[in-house]
Amino acid sequence: MPPLDFEAIARAAGAACDRARQEIVPRFRSVAVESKADGSPVTEADRAAEQAIREVLRKAFPDFAILGEEFGREGAPDGPCWLVDPIDGTLGFSRGIPLFTTLIALLEDGVPVFGLIDVPAVDERYVGWKGGGCRRNGVPTRVSEESDLSRAIISHGDPYCFELFGCSGVFQRMAQECGLLRGYTDAFGHAMVLSGGVGAMVDLACNAWDLAPTQVLVPEAGGRCITLPEHGGKTGVIFGSPALVEQLERFFAR
């Protein structure tokens, strides 16, 4: 297979996000919420956005598979595969909180090589690929260089996710030792790490589509991203300033 054309991949993913915004933004604060089999929320906006994203990506790269949160997998069992989360942060979206995102990643041989985080409410889009750097609205961005846990803003996912991941004690330790611990959850928090405002983040009990963009973008923004061993079929990450990530990783030592 020829080398991936990341410029074309980025254009297709960007066009897909533009289409997703057309489905998501008009429905914000005006959409009914349902519960999926696992109890997580879903809305008409999630489904319409994923369908729109699939349509754009399928047309641009018909040989690539697509795996999305709402409609599963389509396409070849091998070769490049898109990962799609049409609305990351559906719970907040459904309650009128504008910190939701759209996530698109591309896997090659099962490894994330391209990532995009779109934040419609603040009109910011983070895009990057292996060896290509990370850009916010076209401008290169870098993670924080902070090394002191007492000074850095440290973010985290929902506290119950620490319990699901078997790490309740880690959250308690973070609450005690991180002077500026804030819950900028979901990929909005990930984006704030990429922009350097949040020094590092711990996000646990996640699915592949939640984390794949970040696994690409953080190293490209000069940071470190550690993927933790799976627990209960879910994955967790620690990412951000390399010095902060190294310290937070020790919280997980058993």
Q: What is the pLDDT along the chain (254 residues), one digit of tens a residue?
A: 789 999 999 999 999 999 999 999 999 999 889 888 887 889 999 999 999 999 999 999 999 999 999 999 999 888 999 999 999 999 999 999 999 999 999 999 999 999 999 999 999 999 999 999 999 999 999 999 999 999 999 999 999 999 999 999 999 999 999 999 999 989 999 999 999 999 999 999 999 999 999 999 999 999 999 999 999 999 999 999 999 999 999 999 86
User: Is the CB of residue 117 less than 8 Å from the CB of residue 17?
Assistant: no
Structural domain boundaries of the chain? Answer: 6-140, 153-250
Tokens of 69: 């949160």
Query: Do 6-140 and 153-250 share a fold?
Result: no
pLDDT value at residue 164: 94
Tokens of 201: 């983040």
How far apart are alpha carbons 89 and 83 in whole angstroms? 16
Handedness of CA 203, 207, 208, 213 (dihedral sign): negative
Tokens of 42: 């879903």
Q: Which of 98, 129, 97, 156 is nearest to 217 (CA)?
A: 129
Q: Which of 100, 48, 89 is nearest to 70 (CA)?
A: 48
Q: Which residues contact 46 (CB under 8 A, 6 or more apart)?
A: 69, 70, 86, 87, 90
Second-level CATH architecture of 6-140:
2-Layer Sandwich (3.30)
DSSP conformational letter for 43: E
CATH annotation of 153-250: 3.40.190.80
Handedness of CA 157, 134, 213, 104 (dihedral sign): positive
pLDDT value at residue 254: 63
pLDDT value at residue 152: 97
Q: Cα–Cα–Cα angle for 57, 1, 211, nearest 5°?
A: 50
* pTM (predicted TM-score): 0.96
DSSP conformational letter for 122: G
User: Is the CB of residue 106 less than 8 Å from the CB of residue 120?
Assistant: no
